Amino acid sequence: MSSSRSSRQTPFFVSSRARKKGRSIEEPTPTPEAYIYSSPEPRLNVLEASMDEIKEEQKRLGKTMEDMVTSMKTGFDNIKHLLTAYTEHFGTLDKDMRALKHQVNNSIHVASNVIQDTVNEFKATSAELQTFVQKSAEDVVLAIEVQMDSDRNLHSHVLKWTYWFSTTWMEWLKKFEIEYPPPPIKKSKHSSSSSQPPPT
C-alpha cells in the first residue's frame, strides 16, 4: 500500500534519481498561444489587451497628426504674412524708385537747359569779346603809328611795346582757344625789318 501511495504522489515522468533525492521537476510555463487555444477566456483577454494597445496607438497617431496639421497651418499663415509684408514693401520700393527716376529726369532736364543757356551766353559774350579785342588792337596800333610818325624818338620804345602786345594778345587768344588773326599792325617806313625782343 505504501508503494501505491508513493506512486500516486510522484509523477510518472520523474526519474528514479529524482525520486531518490526527493526532488520534483516543474512543468514549463505555457505560452499565450497555449492559453488562446486552450480556453476561450484567455483568448478574449489577449484580444482586449491588443485592442487597447491599438486604441492607444491610434490616439498617439491622431495627436501627432493634429500637431502636424497645426504646424502646417501656422507655417502657411506665416508665409501669407510674409507675402503680404513683402508685397507692401516692394510696392513702396517701386513707388520710391519711380519718384526718384522722375526727380532725376527733371534734374537732368533743368541742368541741360542751364548748360545750354550758359553755352549760348558764352558764345554771345565770346563774339562781343572778339569784336572788342579787335577794335582795341586796331586803336592801339593806330595810336602807336600816329605817335611814331609824330615823334621819331619813340620809335625804339614803341617797337618793343608793340612786339610785346602782339605776342601777349596771340597767347591770350590761344589760351581761350579763339582762332583769330594777329592784330593788324601796319609796317611803318620807320620800322626795322628785324623784330625786337619783349621788354624785361
* pLDDT tens digits, one per residue of 63-93: 898 899 999 999 888 898 888 888 888 888 8
Residue 94 pLDDT class (50, 70, 90 cuts): confident
**What percent of the chain clears pLDDT 90, i.e. is strictly above it?**
7
C-alpha to C-alpha distance for 108 and 160, rounded to whole angstroms:
52
CB contact at 8 A, 145 and 186: yes
Task: Give which of 162, 132, 133, 160 is closest to 145, Cα–Cα.
Answer: 162
C-alpha to C-alpha distance for 178 and 133, rounded to whole angstroms:
11
C-alpha to C-alpha distance for 80 and 74, rounded to whole angstroms:
10
Residue with the larger pLDDT of the pair 172 and 100: 100
* pLDDT tens digits, one per residue of 164-177: 777 777 777 676 66
Mean pLDDT of 143-166: 69
User: How is the chain split into domains, by residue range?
Assistant: 31-64
**pLDDT, position 187:** 52
Is the pLDDT confidence value at 151 over 80? no
| Number of CB atoms found within 10 A of residue 166's CB | 18
Residue with the larger pLDDT of the pair 172 and 121: 121
Is the pLDDT confidence value at 3 over 80? no
Residue 11 pLDDT class (50, 70, 90 cuts): very low
Residue 9 pLDDT class (50, 70, 90 cuts): very low
